[in-house]
A and B are shown apart, each in its own frame.
Chain A
Amino acid sequence: MSDIIRRDPRTEWIARNRLHPLHAAMQPAQTSWMGPNGVLRKNVHGIGFIGPNGIKRIDRSGAQQGGAIKRSVAVDVQLPLHRIATPAFYIAVVPDMVGGRLSRHDRDLLGLAHGLAGNEGAVLAVIFGEHKETAFDTAGVDRLLILEGSGFSGYSPEQRVQGLRAVDNQFDPHHWLLPDSRNGGGELGRRFAASLGERPSTRVWQVAGEQCIGRAGAGAEDLSRPVSRLILAQAECAEPVSETRHEAQAVELSTAVPRSLSRIEDLGAVAVDPALIPMSEAEFIFSGGNGVKDWSLFHRTAVALGATEGASRVAVDDGFMTRDRQVGASGTWVTARVYVAVGISGAIQHLQGIGACDKVVAINLDPTCDMIKRADLSVIGESSAILEALVEAVETYRNGAKRDAA
């Protein structure tokens, strides 16, 4: 239903007609009444209605009658669809997909690709394996190619280069865009460039017309050169797509990707002591605040989860954690992908510090606190009981995985 305010003549008529059976229900909410001490009380919030622009309107002419219907103002804006029926050419983008989702860097890159594609070309995103992203359309992906297969799982740069070469043969993109990041994009792009024999433009931060500017050397110099076919771009190289919606139509490779025998065998991730990772770059932070009563249990849970420990200002001031563990505006601004806040109500300084976090989990007693509003998953309850249960659940999960492997 549209949220535009419309008059309902029938409701207004019922409200005027005292003999109508629905008359009482259609009366506007009472706005002023005599209080118990003889003082006139007014409910100013009950007066008027919210207009289409989200502004409160009060109609004192007496024309406004009928039931006070609460309308939400949040309008889901449907962006115009940018459709490329038959692409004249392709701009291929290989996003990093850290954690299976488009990162901010990936979105900037898609924005750059959209600029290069213009109204004729299509942006082709090449993804390896599973993903969790749901917003490819608003990120600016016209065509989506998912390369699946066991060969692409784990660390498989050589097989991925083979996959990209197959894409190159079939679609022959005008440009290849990869993020020049440490999350795999920089490495894959350079491997691909060496395999194609193309000279890439690296560490590009601006593409203007036929020229692109990238950092050179140790970052103290700029190198301006003609745009090459392969571009490895830095974060914030362009504005992300925000004004159009795209088709994100799935396409497939017509040929199978040749399996190359991997010369590098991936033996999996190594357990790293989370306490040695600097807080500002830790991936998974388990943070405690005023609501934590049992700090030994808190530390035990952090060890069980394998998370880096953090704290709110209150916990640090009370001496439960050291100052270097403080998260927030006056502590560390963290960039964790997953942030678990135990007993932290979410002061604005703390919320600023976790602004860059993707997923926030809150454990708190107070269901109305600001942290719950920020969190993606909140559990309301006593922290000690939940932490006990969490330690137990993690141990069962780990043991189960071990049994499966054996």
Chain B
Amino acid sequence: MGQNAMRPELGVSVDKGALHVISLVSVGAHPTSGRPRRAEQDARAVELGLHLAGDNLHVLHAGDAEEPALRGYLGMGVDELHVLAQPPGADALPGLADYIRESGVQLVLTGSQAETGEGSGMLPYLLAEKLGWPLVVGLAEVESMSNGSVQVLQALPRGQRRRLKVRLPFLATVDNAAPKPRQSAYGPAQRGLLDVEEIEVVIDDVFIGAALTPAKPRPKRLKVIKAKSGADRMKAATAKASGGGGQVLKGVTPEEGAAAILKLLVEEGVVR
């Protein structure tokens, strides 16, 4: 039933090469060691871009071109990586918006949030606002494309999917529901070209004022029992979990019981 809906053959109705795609990438940080690496979600954006556009994929980074971790994306089979050179702490938004506007691209893919710095996840939203493009959040799969409009699957929490139809050009973020990125090969990573372009630097002064500190473990929420008497406290400590007196149907026919259950399931929206 849903197996086919979940995993159709990728690129069946998508003509590789017809679409001009840019994947925006950043430098990530390993969750344990903190060492620079290719960012997980950005790698997924590159993977999805390779599925959709093949060799037409454009990979773009705004930041330090000297960073060796950037070559991780080249190792995924991309010939060239475009870098808008910026010092750390600069605002990537104006440069990216100008570049995308001039490139005549139809689809921009990004991860949903950066692994270093503020990581607010605002960049795709601000970019979409600035370009005036629609934004699809949590793109899981591109199903089909026809007459400049694209049918996509959006990832929802609890493993659910929603089908959306958007007109080109648009911007999409990918999260962990997108296809897993392929491994990065060392040889191609070293052979790949870095196309560095100098752009005007806009310093983000708000973020510089804020302080980044190592994350404090969050305090565990205490179960506070506001009981006036000892008997109430005893009851609260020993009580079993209860739903507080539900409806009990006794002595009904199976049909009536089933109808009552179905009514609740439909009300809750789990049976469609």
Q: Which residues of A contact B (CB under 8 A)?
A: 53-55, 99-100, 132, 155, 157-158, 181-183, 186-187, 190-191, 193-195, 199-200, 202-203, 205, 213, 215-225, 236, 239, 242-243, 263-274, 276-278, 281-284, 303, 305-307, 337-338, 340, 348, 351-352, 355, 358-361, 363, 367, 370, 372-382, 385-386, 388-390, 392-394, 397
Contact with A along B120-134 (1 / 0, CB 8 A): 111001101100001
Whether B157 contacts A182 by the Cβ 8 Å rule is: yes
Instruction: Pull 23 A–B residue pairs with CB atoms less than 8 Å apart, ordered by A.
Output: A53-B231, A53-B232, A99-B269, A158-B134, A200-B120, A202-B120, A202-B122, A203-B120, A217-B29, A221-B214, A263-B167, A270-B5, A272-B161, A273-B3, A305-B265, A337-B270, A348-B240, A376-B243, A377-B247, A378-B246, A386-B261, A389-B258, A390-B258
**Neighbouring A residues of B122 by C-beta, 8 Å:** 190, 193-194, 199-200, 202
Main secondary structure of the interface of A (DSSP, over half): mixed
Stretch binding the partner chain, chosen from B96-104, B109-117, B186-194: B109-117
CB contact under 8 A between A355 and B241, given known A187-B137, A272-B159, A379-B249? yes
Q: Which residues of B contact A (CB under 8 A)?
A: 1-3, 5-6, 28-29, 31, 34, 114-122, 125-126, 128-129, 134-138, 151, 153-154, 156-167, 170, 206, 209-216, 218, 221, 226, 228-229, 231-232, 235, 240-243, 246-255, 257-262, 264-272
CA distance A263 to B132 in the complex (A): 11
CB contact under 8 A between A222 and B272, given known A202-B122, A373-B243, A389-B258? no
CA distance A136 to B232 in the complex (A): 26
Shortest beta-carbon distance, B149 to chain A, in Å?
Answer: 9
Which of A191, A236, A267 interacts with B164 by CB under 8 Å?
A267
* Closest B residue to A234 using CB positions: B218
CB contact under 8 A between A393 and B262, given known A269-B160, A272-B160? yes
Whether A220 contacts B229 by the Cβ 8 Å rule is: no
Task: Output the residue of A217, A273, A381 with the most chain B CB within 10 A.
Answer: A217
**Neighbouring A residues of B164 by C-beta, 8 Å:** 155, 264-267
CA distance A183 to B206 in the complex (A): 29
Shortest beta-carbon distance, A71 to chain B, in Å?
Answer: 14
Which of A267, A373, A392 interacts with B163 by CB under 8 Å?
A267
**Neighbouring A residues of B167 by C-beta, 8 Å:** 263
Whether B114 contacts A377 by the Cβ 8 Å rule is: no
CA distance A273 to B159 in the complex (A): 9
Whether A221 contacts B213 by the Cβ 8 Å rule is: yes
Whether B129 contacts A194 by the Cβ 8 Å rule is: yes
Shortest beta-carbon distance, B227 to chain A, in Å?
Answer: 10
Whether B261 contacts A205 by the Cβ 8 Å rule is: no
CA distance A130 to B133 in the complex (A): 29
CB contact under 8 A between A273 and B1, given known A264-B166, A373-B243? yes
**Neighbouring B residues of A276 by C-beta, 8 Å:** 2-3, 6, 159
Shortest beta-carbon distance, A170 to chain B, in Å?
Answer: 23
